Every structure is written in C-alpha cells, then in structure tokens.
Amino acid sequence: MVNVGIIGFGTVGTGTARILLQNREIIRRKSGLDINLKRIVDRDTERDRGLDLPEGILSARIEDILEDSDIDIVVELIGGIHPAREFILQALESDKHVVTANKALLATEGGEIFETARRKNLSLGFEAAVAGGIPIIKALREGLAPNNILSIYGIINGTSNYILTRMTGEGMGFSEALSEAQRLGYAEADPTFDIEGIDTAHKLTLLASLAFGIPLSYDKIYIEGISRITAQDIDFARELGYKIKLLAITKISNGKVEMRVHPTMIREDYLISKIDGVLNAVYILGDAVGETLYYGRGAGDMPTGSAVVSDILDIARGLRGGLETRRELDFIGSQNDIEVMEIGDVESMYYFRFSAIDRPGVLSRISGILGANNISISSVIQKGRRVGEAVPLVLLTHTARERDVRKAIEEIDRLDVVSEETMMIRVEGEGVQ
C-alpha cells in the first residue's frame, strides 16, 4: 500500500481526494496499486467541501503529513509561493516524493525544488501544472521522447479561453465571463494571473524546458494578456475569418528559442480555433512524429485531480520497483547554451486597428509609414463613414519583423489623423494548422 497526504483541500484538493476515494478499486484493478489517502491538511477543517471523508483524515496540522513517516507521497495543492515552497522542500528533505499542480511556484522558483528532488533521488510530479487534465507532461517526456521538438502552440489557460469564448459566441461582457469562470473554480486565486497571460507563461516555462532542455526561463517570456481585447476586435477578426485565442508559443527559430504569450488571431477553419470554453489544446511538432494535437479540460476539480492522481500512480509504480520514470528532471536545464529570442526579432503577421479620422489621404499616410518600415498589407477593412470623425481602419499584414512593427506603430500613433492608441494583434499562419 502507498500512503498519500494532500496539503490543500480546495478545488483541486477536493477533486483529487474524490478520485482517490471513489476510484480506489478501479485504480487497484487497473494498476495493481493500492493508493491510500491517509491525510488531508487544510487550514479550514470545518468548511463543507461536498465530500464525505473517512473519520480522522482531515487535519489542520501540517506536521500530520510532513512528520508522518508512513506517508510516501505528499501532494501540494495550496498554491502560491509561500509556504508551498517550504512545504515541498521539507517533504523532499524528509525523503517523501512530491506531486504538485503549482505552476507559479515551479516556473519562478522551481530550480531549487528540482535540484533537491534530483539530489535526494526522489520524484517530483507536476502533470497537473500544465493544461489541467491533458497528460501533456507525460506525452513530452515519454511518447515524444524520440523527437527533437520543433514547436509548441498551446491554449493553456482555461479561464481566458472561457472568457474569449463567451465574448465571441454570446457577446458576453469581459467581467461577467470572468466571474463565471471564477464561480466554476477555473481561475487562479489572483485572476490577473489568468487574464494577463501570467499563468499561461508559467505553464509555457515548464513546457519549453521539457521540450528543449533549456533552464526555466519565465523571466525571458514576452507576455501580453487578453484584457485589452474588445468586442470590436472579436467582430473584425470574425469578419476576416479568424478567431482570437490566448496562445503560448515556443519554437526553435534560427538556433534560438522563441517564447511568447499573447492574444493571437488564428484562422477559424484551423483545428485549434475550435477549442472553446475551458478546453485547452496543445499542438506539438516533433521532427520524427510530425504534428500532434492534445486537447481536453484545462481546469476544474476533477480534470486536474485526474492529472494529480496520474502522477501519484507513476510514482507508486516506481516505488513498487517498476520503471524509472522521472528522468526529465535531468534534461531540464541541460541545454543552457540555447538562447531565448528577443521579441523584437520575432516574425509574424499582424492585425492593426487604427482609430483614423475619416478624411481623404489618411490611408495612404498610414500605409506609407508601414511600407517605409518593410511592412506590407494583405487586407483592409474600413467601416462606416463619418467624415471628419475617427472610424476604425483595420489592416492585416504579411509577415513582418516585430521591431519594425513597433517602430511603425509609434510613428503612426503620433499622426494628427490618428486619435487613439493602435490595437495590434499577432496573426498566426500555417504553423499551427
């Protein structure tokens, strides 16, 4: 029997406990492993979580897990940096394997935790930290291990995908859609992590390190969230045949790794455009396997609990004397000569929405500046006529360099015929088809 202790009885803790208790028999039959949920610690032991626990499991004392020599696997599900970091390090120092869903902690302070797990020859499972219920970490470290990974594109934040979907499909307002995502248990304790792209970047940090072996590089990711996206941009995107998604992108280009998170327009007939609501999708291109696509629920108690329990089973198999499964920790950081590309060097197509005064000659002034900065236009939409007033002027470009685009926009925004800051959204082409 393998004994497990869960710290944090919130959304994911409850889902994990429910699966361990209700599916104990099916897990035993499938894997031959008997996983015993010995203890759950939370600071609030009174709140009704909608789950009947066996007598004596729930405690408010962290020592009941960290100092219990019978507990083999500690599951950290409180979130945040402190004291989650200290609990994990203490568990590892006490020779306990660890499972966590805490991408914020691993992406920003994971170095010491990974190093401690390596030094102690212990497992550190974090399947639930990326893309909720989708077994994407397992896919990268096992199924795709024979490949040089070339690119990854992911919709990996359920909350922002839920918000964009509700705004696109039903015209719901941003705040209302966010409140719904919070009520459903998808959002982070601080929802700005979701809507400003920070959570997506935490997950991208882990994916890129697993894919390319680079050190954890959260600080080098270019991050833009969805809070600036308006209903007007969603409508123009639709008219042009695109959807707007918050994408995490990492790929090898010219010997460097691109790492960026931003709202992205994707052609609506591409598969990844159809991933709506809380669903996540991760597209991975490997040199041997070619294109692969994984999708499923990216947040919520039971999908995330499923990923947590899959890590527990992996570790329990190892404890039984099975396969060594956790060598990915050795790969992370081993390729430290690969540089992360600066955002200015990235190439993309672009959508611009200018607030331009409706007057003859304005389009040619704007297109003149774009042309002078090596940016060529592929489509133009101008809606409505209000002579002498500002109207939206929408342009799509062919592939251009980000540095040139920023310079052009700066020049354009200084024109007396442009009344507001220009909206720019990157457009992804066939790379993610």
Question: Rule CB under 6 A: is residue 189 a binding residue for ligand NDP?
Answer: yes
Q: Binds 163, which of ligand NDP, ligand HSE, none (CB < 5 to 8 A, cut-off by type)?
A: none
Report the site for ligand NDP in 35-74 (rule: CB under 6 A). 41-44
Q: Which is nearer to ligand NDP, 63 or 287 (CB)?
A: 63
Question: Total residues contacting ligand HSE (rule CB under 6 A)?
Answer: 11
Type of residue at 311: D
Report the site for ligand HSE in 121-150 (rule: CB under 6 A). 132
Per DSSP, 255 falls in state T
Output Rg (C-alpha) for the chain, integer angstroms: 24
User: What are the angstrom distances between the C-alpha of 355 and each of 177, 262, 281, 418?
Assistant: 27, 22, 34, 6
Q: Binds 42, which of ligand NDP, ligand HSE, none (CB < 5 to 8 A, cut-off by type)?
A: ligand NDP
Q: Which are the contacts of 415, defined by CB distance < 8 A and separation ≥ 6?
A: 365, 366, 369
Chain center to CA of 417: 39
Q: Residue from 110, 132, 197, 296 that binds ligand NDP (CB under 6 A)?
A: 132
Q: Which residues are the active-site residues?
A: 203
Report the site for ligand NDP in 70-99 (rule: CB under 6 A). 77-79, 83
Q: Do the Cβ atoms of 158 and 246 come closer than 8 Å?
A: no
Mapping DSSP to helix (H, G, I), strand (E, B) and coil, where does residue 167 land?
Answer: helix
**Quick one: which segment of 143-151, 183-191, 347-355, 404-412 binds ligand HSE (CB under 6 A)?**
183-191
Type of residue at 369: I
**Of 70, 64, 119, 114, the residue nearest 88 (C-alpha):** 114
> From the CB of 12, what's the least distance to ligand NDP, in Å?
4
Backbone angles phi, psi at 169, to 5 degrees: -80, -40
**Quick one: which segment of 156-164, 230-238, 334-342, 404-412 binds ligand HSE (CB under 6 A)?**
156-164
Mapping DSSP to helix (H, G, I), strand (E, B) and coil, where does residue 196 land?
Answer: coil
Kindly tell me the burial class for residue 43, based on how many C-beta atoms sit within 10 Å of its own C-beta (0-12, 13-18, 19 or more): exposed
- Nearest-angstrom CA–CA distance, 198 and 188: 10
Size of the chain in residues: 433
Q: Residue from 37, 73, 88, 187 that binds ligand HSE (CB under 6 A)?
A: 187
> From the CB of 239, what's the least distance to ligand NDP, in Å?
34
Question: Rule CB under 6 A: is residue 165 a binding residue for ligand NDP?
Answer: no
Question: Rule CB under 6 A: is residue 194 a binding residue for ligand HSE?
Answer: yes
Question: Rule CB under 6 A: is residue 164 a binding residue for ligand HSE?
Answer: no
Could you tell me the sign of the dihedral formed by the alpha carbons of 258, 259, 262, 263, in that order? positive
Question: Rule CB under 6 A: is residue 296 a binding residue for ligand HSE?
Answer: no
Q: Which is nearer to ligand NDP, 128 or 405 (CB)?
A: 128
Question: Rule CB under 6 A: is residue 158 a binding residue for ligand HSE?
Answer: yes
Residue that has been written with the tokens 């197509």 in this structure: 349
Question: Rule CB under 6 A: is residue 159 a binding residue for ligand HSE?
Answer: yes
Q: Binds 13, which of ligand HSE, ligand NDP, none (CB < 5 to 8 A, cut-off by type)?
A: ligand NDP
In the complex, the residues that contact ligand HSE under the rule CB under 6 A are 132, 157-159, 186-188, 194, 199, 298-299
